[in-house]
């Protein structure tokens, strides 16, 4: 796999979806407008030192006001779907109870626009932005989050179920762990036990929302229906590899990290409980969550599709200095942003889903992308500004080659969503990590095309 093959969408199956993925807090802005309640990143980002330069999601890409133009760009580049998330506190400012009509109207207009443009709406209910009012009540540590989330989910299913064919409950549950165990994400709590409890409650909330979905739409089988509505969840799989495979310390570390990360979600979702290894780790480290009888039946609901976010792999070692050496020795390499270039990660993740967890439902790659990459703005002939992002092009092509290999081998993947259209609010990194294929000039009304956007346009040409 060289990353140099000029693949085009014609190398992929007919009807394969090509989309752009985004999330509410990262693009919408209008953080305090039209009745939206504060969410945890509005508050967390104001704590000194929590985000790069103290940057907040207040304005982001101003999608709230500029969605017609931004959706138009997706269409113009040739994409046929938009994966977006609803802002819970824009819909229900306090998290439960009263609905904010202006928020509902905003999503109605944005979805109508997507449909007019031929962009299939693919909605996520929760992408890391818990209403702050709910955080005051304990957030994901409070078991009531199961009911709060089900009420919110039920409202959206009933309101938009006829026009949105794909629904994910949660995006990357691990972010909630990071926010409650490591303190790096909102809400900034820092105890392993909190992280495990928050994750357990989140998984129960997922199961309960899927049940609500079935109650409303009446379809009980895990069969994907292109006309929708379908329900799933989005989990990121960053497989951990030992830097020195023959070193027992490295191998044990990578194994434990896999248990603590993606397996801690896939096991309950597809196997009906936590793995023995994770249970042992949690018992040994005094971080077993409170679990109720029936929780694992609740969590293991049949799903219609699985959303896979895949950016890279992780290489672990008890001797961190050996990591880079071992990757270079094994023929791996690094991009100019410091991340390893390992496009096989997508193939490995699909294999893990199928072989280790028996996932037989259609898979969508719900996110893949990379950041920065020599993002200097240059002025070309005729005065047009451009950004040359060679590394991003190589990264995307590399992943698409491995994705194609998986498809050729019979993996049931139905779509690929690029992260993302515009540089946006990248959580603790604020606006400093640029993931877009189009450059956002913060505060200015203009956008600058990157070479990767032109590459995607060529790739997607009918």
Minimum distance from residue 382 beta carbon to ligand BGC (Å): 33
Candidate residues 39, 295, 367, 423; the one interacting with ligand BGC per rule CB under 6 A:
367
Q: Which is nearer to ligand BGC, 12 or 84 (CB)?
A: 84
Smallest separation (angstroms) from ligand BGC to the CB of 419:
5
Q: Whole-number minimum distance, CB 310 to ligand BGC, in Å?
A: 10
**What pairs with residue 231 in β-bridges?**
167
Q: Is 419 in the site for ligand BGC (CB under 6 A)?
A: yes
Tell the smallest beta-carbon distance from residue 428 to ligand BGC (Å).
Answer: 10
Number of residues interacting with ligand BGC: please give it, by CB under 6 A.
Answer: 10
> How many contiguous H segments (helices) and E segments (strands) does the chain have?
18, 16
Residues 157-176 binding ligand BGC (CB under 6 A) are: 171-172
397 touches ligand BGC (CB under 6 A):
no
* Residue 423 near ligand BGC by CB under 6 A: no
Residue 447: strand pairing partners: 440
- Say how many C-beta atoms besides its own lie within 10 A of residue 218's C-beta: 7
309 binds ligand BGC (CB under 6 A): yes
Smaller CB separation from ligand BGC, 23 or 100: 23
- 172/259 with CB nearer ligand BGC: 172
Residue from the set 39, 304, 423, 426 that interacts with ligand BGC by CB under 6 A? 426
User: What string marks each residue from 113 to 152 as x (binds ligand BGC by CB under 6 A) or -?
Assistant: ----------------------------------------
Could you give the residue numbers annotated as active site? 172, 367
In whole angstroms, the minimum distance from the beta carbon of 39 to ligand BGC comes to 14
51 or 171, CB closer to ligand BGC? Answer: 171
Beta carbon nearer to ligand BGC, 67 or 170: 170
Among 12, 19, 23, 416, binds ligand BGC (CB under 6 A): 23
Interactions with ligand BGC, residue window 201-260 (CB under 6 A): 236
Chain contacts with ligand BGC (rule: CB under 6 A):
23, 26, 171-172, 236, 309, 367, 419, 426, 435
């Amino acid at each position: 796999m060289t990353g140099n093959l000029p693949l085009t969408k014609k190398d992929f199956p007919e009807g394969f979806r090509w989309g752009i993925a985004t999330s509410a807090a990262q693009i919408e802005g209008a953080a305090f407008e039209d009745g939206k309640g504060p969410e945890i990143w509005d508050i967390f980002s104001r704590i000194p030192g929590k985000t790069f330069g103290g940057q907040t999601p207040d304005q982001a890409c101003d999608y709230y006001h500029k969605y017609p133009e931004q959706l138009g760009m997706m269409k113009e580049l040739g994409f046929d779907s938009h994966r977006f998330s609803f802002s819970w506190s824009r819909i229900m400012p306090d998290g439960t109870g009263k609905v904010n009509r202006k928020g509902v109207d905003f999503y109605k207009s944005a979805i109508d626009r997507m449909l007019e443009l031929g962009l299939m709406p693919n909605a996520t209910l929760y992408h890391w932005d818990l209403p702050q009012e709910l955080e005051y009540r304990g957030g994901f540590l409070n078991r009531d989050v199961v009911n709060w989330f089900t009420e919110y989910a039920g409202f959206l299913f009933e309101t938009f179920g006829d026009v949105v064919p794909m629904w994910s409950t949660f995006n990357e549950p691990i972010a909630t762990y990071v926010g409650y165990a490591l303190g790096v994400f909102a809400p900034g709590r820092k105890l392993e036990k909190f992280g495990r409890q928050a994750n357990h409650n989140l998984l129960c909330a997922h199961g309960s929302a899927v049940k609500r979905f079935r109650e409303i739409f009446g379809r009980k089988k895990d069969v994907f229906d292109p006309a929708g509505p379908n329900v799933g969840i989005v989990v990121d799989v960053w497989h951990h590899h030992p830097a020195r495979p023959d070193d027992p310390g490295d191998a044990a570390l990578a194994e434990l990290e896999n248990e603590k990360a993606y397996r801690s979600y896939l096991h309950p979702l597809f196997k009906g409980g936590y793995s023995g290894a994770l249970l042992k780790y949690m018992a040994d480290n005094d971080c077993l969550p409170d679990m109720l009888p029936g929780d694992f039946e609740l969590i293991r609901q049949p799903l219609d599709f699985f959303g896979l976010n895949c950016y890279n792999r992780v290489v672990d070692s008890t001797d961190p200095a050996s990591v880079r050496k071992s990757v270079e020795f094994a023929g791996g390499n690094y991009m100019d942003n410091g991340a390893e270039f390992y496009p096989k990660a997508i193939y490995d993740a699909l294999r893990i889903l199928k072989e280790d967890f028996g996932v037989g439902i259609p898979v969508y790659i719900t996110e893949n992308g990379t950041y920065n990459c020599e993002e200097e703005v240059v002025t070309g002939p005729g005065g047009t500004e451009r950004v040359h992002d060679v590394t991003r092009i190589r990264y995307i092509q590399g992943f698409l080659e491995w994705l194609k290999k998986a498809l050729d081998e019979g993996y049931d993947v139905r779509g690929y969503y690029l992260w993302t259209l515009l540089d946006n609010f990248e959580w603790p990194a604020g606006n400093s990590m640029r993931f877009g294929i189009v450059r956002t000039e913060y505060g200015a009304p203009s956008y600058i095309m990157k070479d990767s956007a032109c590459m995607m346009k060529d790739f997607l040409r009918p």
